[in-house]
């Protein structure tokens, strides 16, 4: 029992470490447009993002509760807490690798893929997955960037019609002020969805170790600690990824920045309200590309976009494979 408790404590620590890294890895996406247009100074933008991210994270638990039931059944794993720990280690490693090269990969894909990969490695079979729930999550992760692109295209097209008699470029000063608000709400929406995933994983570990009843829901201390860890990580900033998102997809103006913020936050908040985990990275980046296409498709750097899409698709399976390797090595040493 002491060993189980020790592993669970380590899981909580690793989960909070993942949220800290997720804070400076993914929150960069939320504030990149406002920084690139100089609507906000980097430190101010990141400070606002940290506060709003925290508020968003403690506002909802639906995504976390959904996630604990959608990947695997913790009671089907004899060493479920060890599996979760290996998955978290792999997800942290993946996030750090992609952050070092400045590539905005999906922390959601990394975490979900890693937990699934470690579970499969432990059971020695794909049947361990809760396929009905897991399939819904995968579909949500795949469809959400497509919706983000579509909504971004529609919103900017609407902007062009609404302000047809005025040149949008001359309205940049007004939109720069509006962008302060949209960036803040964007960070809030990030907190409502992304922080939920780690809350769900930590709760899954507590249930698997017998320290929490399956019907207990998300403990308040888990909710607050995950929110705080992500907020602190957000305050550190992710300037490598900010540069990629804010400058390398397309040249962002206050008008296009507001359009992309509105489209991505609407998709993320909708997913949160229906308890679906989505990748905020994918939604934000695809919204920017949708806005750019509506403005002028030649303005979009499709090479950067292609690299992002490739990273989106390889993250889940490679994070799963990495988690399986971490599990096999760890099991050989400790089990």
Residue ranges of the domains in the chain? 1-324
Q: What is the pTM of this model?
A: 0.86
CA–CA separation, 65 and 237 (whole Å): 28
302-330 residues labelled b (16+ CB within 10 A) or e (exposed): eebbeebbebbeebbebbbbbbbebbeeb
Q: How many helices (H) and strands (E) does the chain have?
A: 12, 0
C-alpha to C-alpha distances, 98 to 34, 87, 120, 195, nearest whole angstrom: 23, 17, 24, 19
pLDDT by 10-residue block (mean), the chain, 335 residues: 84 93 73 82 83 88 71 75 92 88 78 92 91 85 92 94 70 86 90 82 82 84 91 71 60 89 95 87 88 83 78 90 97 91
List all residues 6 or more positions away from 173 whose beta carbon is below 8 Å from its beta carbon. 254
- Alpha helix locations (H) across 163-279? 172-208, 220-236, 239-243, 254-273
Q: Which of 95, 143, 101, 144 is nearest to 248 (CA)?
A: 101
* Relative orientation angle of helices 2-36 and 254-273, to the nearest 10 degrees: 150
3-state secondary structure of 227: helix
Take residue 80 and report the two structure tokens written for it.
């479920």
CB atoms within 10 A of CB 285: 29
Longest dimension (CA), the chain: 71
Structure confidence at residue 80 (pLDDT): 82
Structure confidence at residue 60 (pLDDT): 81
CA–CA separation, 84 and 91 (whole Å): 11
Determine phi and psi for 72, rounding to 5 degrees: -140, 160
CA–CA separation, 310 and 86 (whole Å): 25
Structure confidence at residue 248 (pLDDT): 60
Q: Which of 229, 205, 282 is nearest to 50 (CA)?
A: 229
List all residues 6 or more positions away from 217 whose beta carbon is below 8 Å from its beta carbon. 61, 65, 203
List all residues 6 or more positions away from 327 whose beta carbon is below 8 Å from its beta carbon. 82, 83, 86, 87, 117, 118, 121, 122
Q: What is the CA radius of gyration of the chain?
A: 20
Structure confidence at residue 245 (pLDDT): 55
């Amino acid at each position: 029992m002491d060993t189980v408790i020790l592993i669970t404590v380590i899981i909580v620590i690793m989960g909070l470490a993942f949220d800290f890294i997720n804070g400076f890895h993914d929150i960069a996406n939320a504030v990149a447009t406002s920084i690139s247009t100089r609507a906000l100074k980097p430190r101010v933008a990141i400070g606002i993002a940290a506060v709003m991210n925290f508020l968003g994270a403690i506002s909802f638990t639906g995504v976390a509760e959904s996630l604990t039931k959608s990947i695997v059944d913790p009671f089907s794993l004899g060493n479920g807490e060890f599996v979760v720990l290996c998955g978290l280690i792999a997800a942290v490693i993946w996030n750090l690798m992609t952050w070092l090269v400045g590539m905005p990969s999906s922390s959601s894909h990394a975490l979900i893929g890693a937990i699934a990969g470690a579970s499969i490695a432990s059971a020695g079979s794909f049947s361990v997955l809760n396929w009905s729930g897991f399939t819904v999550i995968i579909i949500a992760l795949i469809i959400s960037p497509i919706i983000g692109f579509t909504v971004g295209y529609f919103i900017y097209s609407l902007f062009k019609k609404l302000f047809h008699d005025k040149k949008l470029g001359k309205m940049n000063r007004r939109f720069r002020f509006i962008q302060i608000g949209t960036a803040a709400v964007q960070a809030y929406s990030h907190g409502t969805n992304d922080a939920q995933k780690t809350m769900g994983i930590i709760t899954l570990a507590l249930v698997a170790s017998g320290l929490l009843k399956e019907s207990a829901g998300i403990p308040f201390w888990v909710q607050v600690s995950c929110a705080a860890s992500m907020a602190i990580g957000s305050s550190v900033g992710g300037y490598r990824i900010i540069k990629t998102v804010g400058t390398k997809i397309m040249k962002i103006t206050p008008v296009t920045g507001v359009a992309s913020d509105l489209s991505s936050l609407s998709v993320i908040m909708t997913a949160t309200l229906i308890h679906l985990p989505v990748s905020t990275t994918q939604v934000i980046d695809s919204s920017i590309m949708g806005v750019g296409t509506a403005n002028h498709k030649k303005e979009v750097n499709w090479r950067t976009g292609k690299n992002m899409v490739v990273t989106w698709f390889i993250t889940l399976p490679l994070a799963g494979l990495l988690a399986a390797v971490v599990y096999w090595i760890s099991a050989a040493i400790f089990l």
